[in-house]
């Protein structure tokens, strides 16, 4: 009897003195996945992504034995793959070929992975970009996402942009931009081109540099404001005169490619920086960035006479027929046209943008037989004659528009890091 | 101080009522091992029960053959060691809106303390061939030396202001075996818990269990015949019996909040009871038993110790919450039938929490584009802070008492016990009031199958 009681007691004490394991964390399965093929690469739609797409999967707990089944699937873009199902080899790699589609700009290939027992592990995505024809492709890449200015030389087939405080030349594809390292080109800020293909760049220190050989080499012009070490505004008129502007000096112009400079009269700088056009009668027409600042000069820029405009004019454009167009802030944005050297104006179109800006760089852009008119805060109009307009693209976020030497439109978003590419098919 | 005054009053009453009985003075020495059992821990992690030395001397005075007092000096060194968890302990933030757990890692800790301790105890002895005794009272600790291995307790530029003095409670029980008329060898098991926080900014309180062997020598002892005659003349004392009890309990938490998520667990129950006969075959039963209560969970949850599901990494858990109690019952036993073999007993009980822990495993599946992991977490978390210090409840029991050889009896009993209190300490999780995560309720109910060995 006593033994029975003793056994029961020992059993109970044993239960009470349970020895518990120490706290611990164990990784029972520990898989890593990634695409060895680079993410976010840029291709043309319909192209193959590299020679092949390489996927890597490994179980760190058993790297040599644990093969992984990989199912490749195109989930965005409409492309296709050569191998849809595969197993990782002893090194953990699985391969497929991926041809991009054209259904979307961002295209996604998904690798769904399963262990050897068929249990689903995870899905890993590879995203690449396929630039399409006749569609707007939204890019937030560098440097073009923060483009500040562009020139396109259609004769010599080159385009340059200023972005991120550097000069970039378009590469073999329109979305590739290669940095230009030239000691003369230091802190570029604006870029312009004249009718002879001479490219001018202004710098953050107020220098003006030029290239006579389509960006191959650069040399410094005479400094427009020798005593001023800060940036300047530059525009080039259709007679190849160079016009420079700063707030605290006279507007100046150079007739000889930046070698010598002349002061514009009549306190022209009080109207802000702007555009100048040479009319066929030899006079000059100017509109500054300030409201209602249309002026005309008959003595080659020495004196200016103000011209009254309808609405609140902010921008000037003169086409090859000497038809004058002014952009006003009447009823949103209204474009007026004058065929009698600004004696009378006719309303040709009005639109209502979401917002306005004083930075109206490239409203009128011509490529081929068409004008592409960028209205900041509204979108893009298309016109053959600037008399009738078609809505080309309504996008309230647009702030600027550039066209490269191939005719690729590059619209800039107001957020300063996004651009929209559109390459139109040759028709 | 309030406890101390109560202690002194009771002490004087006992002395006044004991002067007519046999008295003796005993002394003894003992040595043994203490097993550290830190208390008041902020939730999380496992404190290893480390062995340490204990030696002591005691001086006892008995007012009669059953009741006395004891004091002495005890030297002990207690070693505390926290095991690195390597996994985050989860607890809930106090934010109203945010019910996502905060993850908390606790590193290695080592501390050791050397004490000189002075206990002041009541003793209750059950005279028999092998004398059984119980002791309870206060213990005063004076720290002699210490070391803290982990610098985060105190920035190096600040002085170490560990508390030098402490007082606490001591519970002890044991047996003594006579070697000669005056010499006995003793075996005691003691439980000591300090009451003061010994580290600033931490809730830690000292605690340990001691197992000791020793020798006892009795002075002023009357001869055996005298004692036996006294013993024989006390008719009521003759019928006082001690029952050593052991068995299994099934504990559950039929909480009103997510009650179905919790399952019962088995635990031990071991202790003793003193049966004091009353009139008409009734008897009063009290004593002390160690009981492990708790519940288990097998479900998906963001917490290891209770059910909580949200959008954060969710574990599949298979865990047990175990709360160790010292249960002190106060039962009236009623005989059923004339044979007095069957009995029914009922009465309240008081439970004093000794430890609380959360043990088991948890699995977490994490999936991202670049990884897939399954983690197994072996859990041992101290959750003392989450469980209130005491509980009260009521017991209903019935059983059969079978005579065996000589005057011994074996009791087989089935007991149902329910706790009245919600023992979950909501304040430990913060004062969140969230409809999606209502305050949990933990109210233990147990069914026990007990076997007792009654010694006359």
Question: What is the DSSP code string of A247-283?
Answer: TTS--EEESSSSSS-EE-STTGGGG-SEEEEE-TTS-
Q: How close is the nearest chain A Cα to the Cα of B247, in Å?
A: 6
Structural domains of chain B, with CATH: 1-234 (2.40.160.20), 239-456 (2.40.160.20)
Q: Which CATH number do you get for residue A108? A: 2.60.40.10
Distance from CA of B3 to the nearest CA of A (A): 30
Question: CB contact, 8 Å: A27 with chain B?
Answer: yes
Position with higher pLDDT, B105 vs A132? A132
Three-class secondary structure assignment of A89-111: CCCCEEEECEECCCCCCEEEEEE
Q: How far apart are CA A263 and CA A281, in angstroms?
A: 22
- Chain B residue nearest residue A36, CA to CA: B370
pTM for the model stands at: 0.70
Q: Is A247 on the interface with B (CB under 8 A)?
A: no
Q: Which residues of B touch A (CB under 8 A)?
A: 45-46, 48, 83-87, 244, 246-248, 267-270, 290, 292, 324, 357, 359, 363, 367-381, 404-405, 408, 410, 451, 453
Bridge partners, B455 (sequence order): B242
Q: Is A146 on the interface with B (CB under 8 A)?
A: no
Number of H helices, E strands in chain B: 3, 21
In a domain, A244, yes or no: no
Beta strands B390-403 and A262-263 are unpaired
Residue A56, in any domain of the structure: yes
Contact flag B370-A34 (C-beta cutoff 8 Å): yes
Q: Which residues of A touch B381 (CB under 8 A)?
A: 23
Q: How confident is the model at residue A17 (pLDDT cuts 50, 70, 90)?
A: low
Query: Which segments of A292-335 does DSSP mark as H helices, in order?
Result: none
Distance from CA of B96 to the nearest CA of A (A): 31
Which pairs with CB-CB distance under 8 Å and at least 24 residues apart come from B401-404?
A: B401/B340, B401/B341, B401/B342, B401/B343, B401/B454, B402/B341, B404/A1
Q: Kindly write down the DSSP assignment for every residue of B202-217, as one continuous string.
A: S--EEEEEEEEEEEEE
- Which residues of chain B lie closer than 8 angstroms to A15, CB-CB? 248, 267-268, 292
Q: Are B168 and B141 in contact (CB under 8 A)?
A: yes
**Cross-chain Cβ contact A9/B268 below 8 Å:** no
d(CA B316, CA B328) in angstroms, rounded, equals 37
Residue range A329-372, pLDDT digits in tens = 999 999 999 999 999 999 999 999 998 877 777 899 999 999 99
Gap from A323 CA to chain B (nearest CA, Å)? 59
Tens digit of each residue's pLDDT (9 = 90 or more) over A47-66: 999 889 999 998 888 766 67
What does the pLDDT look like over A311-329, one tens digit per residue? 899 999 999 999 999 999 9
Decide if A75 touches B, using CB distance below 8 A: no
Q: Is residue A387 part of a domain?
A: no
Q: Does residue A398 form part of some domain?
A: no
Note whether A25 contacts B: Cβ–Cβ < 8 A.
yes
Nearest-CA distance from B292 to chain A in Å?
8
Q: Are the C-beta atoms of residues B176 and B133 closer than 8 Å to each other?
A: yes
What is the nearest CA distance from B294 to chain A, expressed in angstroms? 13
- Look at A25 and B379 and tell me if their CB atoms are within 8 Å: no
> Which of the four pLDDT bands, split at 50, 70 and 90, describes residue A126?
very high
Q: How many whole angstroms separate alpha carbon A138 and alpha carbon A100?
A: 17
Sequence-ordered strand ranges (E) for A352-408: 364-367, 370-375, 379-383, 390-394, 398-403
Residue A157 lies in a domain: no
In this predicted structure, what is the pLDDT of residue B93? 40
Which residues of A fall within a CB distance of 8 Å from B84? 23
Q: How far apart are CA B170 and CA B132, in angstroms?
A: 17
Residue B239: its pLDDT value, please? Answer: 65
| ipTM > 0.85, yes or no | no
DSSP per-residue codes, B100-166: PEEEE----EEEEEEEEEEEEEEEEEE-SSSEEEEEEEEEEEEEEEEEE--GGGS-TTS------EE
Exposed/middle/buried for residue B19 (C-beta within 10 Å: 0-12, 13-18, 19+): exposed
Q: Do A1 and B404 touch (CB under 8 A)?
A: yes
**CB distance A23–B85 less than 8 Å?**
yes
- Whether omega for the bond prior to residue A143 falls within 30 degrees of 0, making it cis, is yes
pLDDT, position A184 = 92
Measure in Å the smallest separation between the Cα of A105 and chain B Cα atoms: 22
* Interface membership of A31 toward B (CB under 8 Å): yes
For a pLDDT cut of 70, what percent of chain A falls above it?
95
Q: Is some CB atom of chain B closer than 8 A to the CB atom of A61?
A: no
Residue range of the domain that includes A35: 31-131
Q: Identify the helix (H) or strand (E) that includes residue A337.
A: strand A333-338
Strands A379-383 and B24-36: unpaired
What mean pLDDT is predicted for residues A13-17?
A: 54
Closest-CA residue of chain A to B373: A30
**8 Å CB contact of B371 and A12:** no
Distance from A276 to chain B by nearest Cα, in Å? 56
Which residues is A153 bridged to in the sheet?
Answer: A158
Instruction: With CB atoms and an 8 Å threshold, state whether A31 touches B373.
Output: yes
CB–CB contact B86 A23 (8 Å): yes
Smallest CA–CA separation between B201 and chain A, in Å? 25
Q: Could you tell me how many CB contacts below 8 A there are between chain A and chain B?
A: 105
Say whether pLDDT at A145 is over 50: yes
Q: Sort residue B259 into left (φ over 0), alpha (ψ -120 to 50) or beta.
A: alpha
Q: State which residue of chain A sits closest to B367, comparing Cα positions.
A: A122
Give the chain B residue whose CA is nearest to the CA of A16.
B268
A99 domain-assigned: yes
Contact A22 B380 (CB under 8 A): yes
Nearest residue of B to residue A115 by CA position? B372
Q: What pLDDT, in 10s, does the model give residues A217-226?
A: 999 999 999 9
Judge whether A22 is closer than 8 Å to chain B, CB to CB. yes
Residues of B in contact with A26 (CB under 8 A): 375-378
Whether residues A23 and B46 touch (CB distance < 8 A) is answered with yes
Structure-derived torsion over alpha carbons of residues A298, A300, A301, A304, reported in degrees to the nearest 10: -10
Would you call A26 and B376 a contact, using CB atoms and an 8 Å cutoff? yes
> Is A82's Cβ below 8 Å from some Cβ in B?
no
Across the interface, whether the CB atoms of A21 and B381 are under 8 A apart is answered no
- Among left, alpha and beta (phi > 0; psi -120 to 50; other), residue A206 is left
CB contact under 8 A, A23 and B244: no
Task: Give the angle subtended at the CA of B399 by the CAs of B393 and B405, to the nearest 5°.
Answer: 130
- The reply to whether A127 falls in a domain is yes
Inspect the interface and report whether the beta carbons of B369 and A22 lie closer than 8 Å: no
Measured between alpha carbons, how far is B59 from B64 in angstroms, rounded to an integer? 16
Q: Is A100 part of any domain?
A: yes
Within 8 A of A24 by CB-CB distance, chain B residues are: 86-87, 377-378
Indicate yes or no: CB of B290 within 8 angstroms of CB of A29: no
Name which of A8, A21, A31 is nearest B372 (Cβ-Cβ): A31
Mean pLDDT of A284-289: 94
E strand intervals along B339-408:
342-367, 371-382, 390-403
C-beta separation of A160 from A133 below 8 A = no
Contact A121 B357 (CB under 8 A): no
- Burial bucket for residue A223 (CB in 10 Å: 0-12, 13-18, 19+): middle
pLDDT at A423 over 90: yes
d(CA B85, CA B108): 8
Cα angle value B296/B297/B303 (rounded, 5°): 120
Q: Cβ A16–B381 below 8 Å, yes or no? A: no
Nearest residue, CB atoms, A32 vs list B269, B290, B370: B370
CB burial readout A258-277, b (16+ within 10 A) else e: beebeebebebbebbbbbbb
- Regions of chain B where pLDDT drops below 50: 1-21, 92-105, 151-159, 223-237, 431
Max CA pair span of chain B: 87
Count up the domains in chain A and report the number.
1
Q: Which residue from A minimizes the CA distance to B370?
A: A33
Using CA atoms in the order A67, A73, A75, A81, what is the torsion angle rounded to 10 degrees?
130
Q: Cβ separation of A26 and B378 shorter than 8 Å? A: yes
Q: What is the pLDDT of residues B24-35, one digit of tens each?
A: 888 999 999 999
CB contact under 8 A, A15 and B268: yes
């Amino acid at each position: 009897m006593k033994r029975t009681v003793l056994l029961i007691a020992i059993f109970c004490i044993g239960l009470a003195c349970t020895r518990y394991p120490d706290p611990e964390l164990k990784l029972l399965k520990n898989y890593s996945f990634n695409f060895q093929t680079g993410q976010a690469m840029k291709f043309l739609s319909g192209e193959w992504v590299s020679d092949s797409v390489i996927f890597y999967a490994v179980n760190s707990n058993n790297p040599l034995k644990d093969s992984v089944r990989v199912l490749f699937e195109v989930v965005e873009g409409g492309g296709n793959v050569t191998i849809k199902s595969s197993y990782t080899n002893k090194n953990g790699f699985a391969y497929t070929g991926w041809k991009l589609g054209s259904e979307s700009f961002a295209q996604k290939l998904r690798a769904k992975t399963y262990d050897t027992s068929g249990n689903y592990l995870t899905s890993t995505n590879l995203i690449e970009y396929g630039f399409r024809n006749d569609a707007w492709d939204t890019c937030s890449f560098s440097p073009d996402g923060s483009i500040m200015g562009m020139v396109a030389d259609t004769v010599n087939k080159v385009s340059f942009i200023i972005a991120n405080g550097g000069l970039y030349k378009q590469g073999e594809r329109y979305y590739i931009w290669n940095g230009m390292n030239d000691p003369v080109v230091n802190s570029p800020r604006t870029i312009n081109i004249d009718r002879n293909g001479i490219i001018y760049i202004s710098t953050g220190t107020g220098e003006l540099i030029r290239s006579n050989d389509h960006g191959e080499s650069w040399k410094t012009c005479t400094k427009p404001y020798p005593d001023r070490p800060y940036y300047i505004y530059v525009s080039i008129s259709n007679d190849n005169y160079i016009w420079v502007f700063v707030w605290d000096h006279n507007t100046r112009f150079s007739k000889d490619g930046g070698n010598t400079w002349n002061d514009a009269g009549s306190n022209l700088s009080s109207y802000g920086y702007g555009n100048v056009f040479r009319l066929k009668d030899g006079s000059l027409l100017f509109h500054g960035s300030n409201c209602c600042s249309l002026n005309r000069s008959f003595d080659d820029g020495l004196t200016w006479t103000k011209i009254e405009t309808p609405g609140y004019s902010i921008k000037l454009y003169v086409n090859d027929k000497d038809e004058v167009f002014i952009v006003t802030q009447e009823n949103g944005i209204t474009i007026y046209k004058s065929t009698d050297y600004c004696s009378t104006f006719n309303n040709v179109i009005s639109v209502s943008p979401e917002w306005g800006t004083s930075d109206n760089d490239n409203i009128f852009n011509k490529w081929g037989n068409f004008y592409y008119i960028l209205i900041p805060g509204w979108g893009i109009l298309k016109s053959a004659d600037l008399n009738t307009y078609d809505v080309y693209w309504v996008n309230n976020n647009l702030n600027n528009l550039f066209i490269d030497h191939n005719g690729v439109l590059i619209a800039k978003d107001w957020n300063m890091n996004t651009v929209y590419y559109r390459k139109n098919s040759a028709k | 101080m309030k406890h101390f005054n109560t202690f002194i009053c009771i002490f004087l009453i006992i002395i006044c009522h004991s002067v007519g009985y046999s008295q003796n003075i005993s002394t003894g020495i003992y040595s043994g091992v203490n097993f550290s059992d830190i208390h008041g821990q902020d939730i999380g992690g496992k404190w290893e029960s480390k062995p340490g030395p204990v030696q002591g001397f005691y001086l006892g005075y008995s007012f009669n053959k059953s009741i006395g007092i004891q004091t002495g000096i005890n030297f002990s060194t207690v070693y505390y060691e926290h095991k690195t968890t390597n996994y985050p302990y989860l607890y809930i933030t106090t934010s109203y809106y945010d019910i996502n757990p905060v993850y908390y890692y606790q590193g290695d800790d080592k501390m050791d303390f050397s004490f000189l301790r002075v206990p002041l105890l009541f003793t209750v002895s059950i005279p028999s061939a092998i004398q059984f005794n119980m002791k309870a009272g206060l213990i005063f600790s004076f720290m002699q030396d210490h070391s803290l291995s982990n610098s985060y307790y105190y920035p190096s530029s600040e002085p170490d202001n560990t508390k030098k003095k402490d007082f606490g409670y001591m519970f002890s029980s044991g047996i003594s075996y006579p070697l000669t008329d005056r010499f006995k060898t003793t075996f005691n098991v003691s439980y000591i818990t300090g009451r003061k926080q010994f580290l600033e900014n931490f809730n830690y309180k000292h605690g340990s269990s001691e197992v000791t062997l020793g020798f006892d020598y009795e002075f002023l002892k009357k001869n055996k015949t005298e004692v036996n005659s006294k013993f024989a003349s006390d008719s009521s004392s003759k019928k006082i019996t001690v029952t050593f009890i052991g068995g299994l309990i099934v504990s559950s938490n039929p909480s009103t909040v997510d009650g179905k998520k919790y399952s019962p667990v088995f635990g031990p129950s071991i202790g003793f009871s003193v049966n004091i006969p009353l009139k008409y075959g009734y008897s009063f039963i009290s004593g002390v038993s160690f009981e492990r209560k708790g519940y288990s969970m097998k479900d998906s949850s963001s917490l290891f110790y209770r059910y909580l599901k949200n959008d954060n990494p969710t574990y599949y858990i298979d865990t047990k919450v175990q709360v160790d109690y010292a249960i002190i019952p106060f039962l009236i036993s009623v005989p059923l039938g004339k044979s007095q073999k069957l009995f029914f007993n009922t009465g309240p009980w008081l439970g004093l929490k000794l430890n609380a822990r959360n043990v088991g495993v948890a699995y977490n599946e994490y999936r991202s584009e670049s990884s897939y992991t399954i983690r197994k977490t072996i859990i041992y978390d101290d959750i003392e802070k989450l469980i209130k210090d005491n509980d009260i409840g009521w017991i209903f029991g019935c059983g059969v008492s079978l005579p065996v050889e000589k005057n011994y009896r074996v009791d087989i009993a089935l007991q149902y016990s329910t706790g009245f209190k919600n023992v979950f300490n909501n304040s430990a999780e913060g004062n969140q009031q969230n409809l999606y995560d209502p305050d949990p309720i933990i109210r233990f109910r147990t069914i026990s199958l007990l076997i007792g060995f009654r010694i006359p």
